[in-house]
Structure 1
Amino acid sequence: MSEKSLKWATLGTGVIAHELAQALQGLGGNLYSVANRTYEKGLAFADQYGIQKVYREIDEVFADDEVDIIYISTPHNTHINFLRKALAAGKHVLCEKSITLNSAELEEAIQLAEEKGLVLAEAMTIYHMPIYRQLKDVVDSGKLGPLKMIQMNFGSYKDYDMTNRFFNRELAGGALLDIGVYALSFVRWFMSSCPQNILSQVQFAPTGVDEQVGILLTNQEGEMATISLSLHAKQPKRGMLAYDKAYIELYEYPRGQKAVITYTEDGHQEVIETGDTKDALRYEVLDMERAVAGNDNQMYLAYSRDVMEMMTKLRSDWGLTYPEEEEERGS
């Protein structure tokens, strides 16, 4: 079990909520409660995992004094309203990516968390999987030399149904917030500083959201990154990091567990394999509980902030907004 008996609530009962429940059970605990828009789905979820409390109304989770941490796994465009309520109620929050729609929303949430002395974090697996931390140690040792270039590919093949969430503007769909957030988080994890020069090309789906994207990034150290994203053309989920003395290849990110380092001078390879893809949520839970206990905060909210700034800049360049943002500006 965890270092301290913290009580977790899930807000949402989708795929990630199931993984969260399984992760907590794997650690010898269980979810304390479940909140969901549809009460019947909440009941079914609770029955599956032996969860003792189901709320009839979502807002009841915020008023429950027993809850320590809320995991929010609802659609992107609902996050900020739930974050406001959870943080105002004194709950620590682990929020599914993308943590908010834009930088303004994230800054509001960060300020609320700081005022209340709470841990706020994005459930970004790249910041928690052992493979990324071990690779960071290798890089920081200096044996690979300085970083020169990062290349990221993430292509999904989603049914070309404009009503599903991936293409639905009403649900904050689009490649950037759904899969691009992983690529940008990978880039930020390895880059020395946040990229300031951002160029891009975008192709829109019939609904007006970004379907296919190419991004070029450069930071003040001269490190560069290229990213290609697609929601309707499969690509290998591949990350490549080119250093002065070697390059690193990592496949099947974000939940990677194996990387290959190829050294430039003689071509010899070093294989690093650590962690387990299926334990992705377990790593996030353990890091979150350590942070809440005040032992070691490794939730990397500053990186989430940088990534959100990049995504906000990109969508601004494209002129892509979501209904909630348009309402905010109009009010």
Structure 2
Amino acid sequence: MTLSNGTSEGTIRWGILGTGFIAGLQTRDLKDNGFTVQAVGSRSLDTSRAFAEEYAVAAAHGSYEELVADPLVDVVYIATPHPMHRANALLALNAGKHVLVEKSFTMNAREAQEIVDLAASKGLVALEAMWTRFLPHMVKIREIIAAGTIGEVRKVIASHNQSLPKDPAHRLNDPALGGGALLDLGIYPISFAFDILGAPSAIHASASMTATGVDRQTAAIFDYDGGAQALVDCELDAASANRALVIGTEGWIDIEHTWYNPVPFTVHAVDGGVVERYEQPVNSRGMQYQAAELERLVREGSAAGTILPPGESVAIMAAMDEIRRQIGLRYEADAVSEDSLRSGDDND
């Protein structure tokens, strides 16, 4: 499937929920590529106004409730930390807004299913903001695999290792804020494995934990019924080249540093010869492509695309739930989900 060029006609109006680092990156890519960013919302009006001034956003709201109630907003981009995604997405959907929800989509599969079910019941789009899925080099890789160029895919290998803040109070190291390598970094290689091979039949995971009780590094092997495997790993206190490989019976695809960004890749034949090298410059950071996909779904009245349908976002969260079960990583949201299941109460 060939996606758009990542630009917009500007007729669909965006609201930005949250004003952190990732919100700024997405807003800049939207503004640079013709998207209409109508409003921003924060828990602090001063923070919202500062963000609006920096990125030339028309309206600033001092609460999330005011943002989603804005009649000039059609789509809400959820840019808060992932423990807040469920509540923020449900708030926007109940206000009749489509949502683009940062990854990881939620804290667990149950929360993800709540968002997907509510969106479906209201005829709205709920898309996970896994921006890598929609980049041109990933579109091309899927086309090469579908054409049989590297034969039957036998293995996917992908890493996401970064040296991030060591402060125990930092969000990434705080279990109360969904800290750890898995949800912030591991989501990338795990989503990539799903993209190429689908949902695994079995998962084998191990991890090392920090003093604060979150995973410092996690590795997993995904097994598939046909015999294929995916090897995925992540770490938050040591960096690496972060390359990825897709290995097939007739060759392999080598995606360069850093594979989840818009970078070149090379297709090798089974004897090592170069079949093709792909390199396409991308305007801006590349986060505009996921926004263009959401706008396409809205225009066409479709709830789900083929690149990252909502059900797959739920399945990815379920895989990460299983990894967390195996490595002993639990969050407050897990206890809330278990209590709700016991009581039969799905409300906040």
Residue type of the alignment partner of 1:150: V
User: Equivalent of 2:200, from 195, 198, 207?
Assistant: 195
Deviation at 1:295, TM superposition (A): 6.7
Tell me the TM-score normalized by structure 1: 0.94
* Structure 1 pair 299–16 and aligned structure 2 pair: CA distance change class (3 A): farther
* Structure 1 residue matching 2:173: 3-state secondary structure: coil
CA contact (8 A) 2:32 2:284 kept: no
What residue is the counterpart of 2:103 in the other structure?
97
What residue is the counterpart of 2:167 in the other structure?
161
Instruction: Note the aligned Cα RMSD (angstroms).
Output: 1.8
User: Equivalent of 1:181, from 181, 187, 207?
Assistant: 187
Identity percentage of aligned residues? 29
What residue is the counterpart of 2:157 in the other structure?
151
Residue type of the alignment partner of 1:74: T
Residue type of the alignment partner of 2:116: I
What residue is the counterpart of 1:306 in the other structure?
315
> In the alignment, does 2:251 pair up with 1:227?
no
Residue type of the alignment partner of 1:231: L
Deviation at 1:272, TM superposition (A): 1.0
User: Equivalent of 1:260, from 255, 266, 270?
Assistant: 266
What residue is the counterpart of 1:321 in the other structure?
330
Does 36-45 or 320-329 show the bigger shift?
320-329
Q: Deviations over 1:35-89 (max 9, x none)?
A: 0122211111111222221112221112222211000010010010111111111
Does 225-234 or 295-304 show the bigger shift?
295-304
* Structure 1 pair 50–228 and aligned structure 2 pair: CA distance change class (3 A): closer
Unaligned runs of 5+ in 2: 1-6, 341-348
CA contact (8 A) 1:13 1:45 kept: yes
Deviation at 1:228, TM superposition (A): 2.0
Does 216-225 or 98-107 show the bigger shift?
216-225
* Structure 2 residue matching 1:220: 3-state secondary structure: coil
Q: Deviations over 1:137-187 (max 9, x none)?
A: 011001211011111121111232111111111110011100000001111
* Structure 1 pair 31–268 and aligned structure 2 pair: CA distance change class (3 A): closer
Deviation at 1:97, TM superposition (A): 0.4
* Structure 1 residue matching 2:238: 3-state secondary structure: strand
Deviation at 1:299, TM superposition (A): 5.4
* Structure 2 residue matching 1:32: 3-state secondary structure: strand
Deviation at 1:20, TM superposition (A): 2.3
CA contact (8 A) 1:10 1:33 kept: yes
* Structure 1 residue matching 2:53: 3-state secondary structure: helix
Deviation at 1:207, TM superposition (A): 0.8
CA contact (8 A) 2:15 2:76 kept: yes
What residue is the counterpart of 2:219 in the other structure?
214
Deviation at 1:263, TM superposition (A): 1.0
* Structure 2 residue matching 1:293: 3-state secondary structure: helix
CA contact (8 A) 1:122 1:299 kept: no
Does 14-23 or 66-75 show the bigger shift?
14-23
Q: Deviations over 1:286-310 (max 9, x none)?
A: 1111111117735512332221111
CA contact (8 A) 2:194 2:316 kept: yes
What residue is the counterpart of 1:44 in the other structure?
50
* Structure 1 residue matching 2:155: 3-state secondary structure: strand
What is the alpha-carbon distance in structure 2 between the residues aligned to residue 107 and residue 155 of structure 1? Answer: 29
Does 251-260 or 90-99 show the bigger shift?
251-260
* Structure 2 residue matching 1:237: 3-state secondary structure: coil
CA contact (8 A) 1:287 1:298 kept: no
Residue type of the alignment partner of 2:23: A
* Structure 2 residue matching 1:199: 3-state secondary structure: strand
What residue is the counterpart of 1:12 in the other structure?
18
What is the alpha-carbon distance in structure 2 between the residues aligned to residue 280 and residue 132 of structure 1? Answer: 12
What residue is the counterpart of 1:86 in the other structure?
92
Deviation at 1:216, TM superposition (A): 0.6
What is the alpha-carbon distance in structure 2 between the residues aligned to residue 220 and residue 29 of structure 1? Answer: 43
What is the alpha-carbon distance in structure 2 between the residues aligned to residue 29 and residue 142 of structure 1? Answer: 36
What is the alpha-carbon distance in structure 2 between the residues aligned to residue 204 and residue 4 of structure 1? Answer: 45
Unaligned runs of 5+ in 1: none
Q: Deviations over 1:222-270 (max 9, x none)?
A: 1101112111111111111110011111121211321011111353352
> In the alignment, does 2:132 pair up with 1:131?
no
Residue type of the alignment partner of 1:206: A
Tell me the TM-score normalized by structure 2: 0.90
Deviation at 1:330, TM superposition (A): 4.3
* Structure 1 residue matching 2:239: 3-state secondary structure: strand
Q: Deviations over 1:91-128 (max 9, x none)?
A: 10001101100000011111100000000011001210
What residue is the counterpart of 1:241 in the other structure?
246
CA contact (8 A) 2:11 2:36 kept: no
Does 312-321 or 205-214 show the bigger shift?
312-321
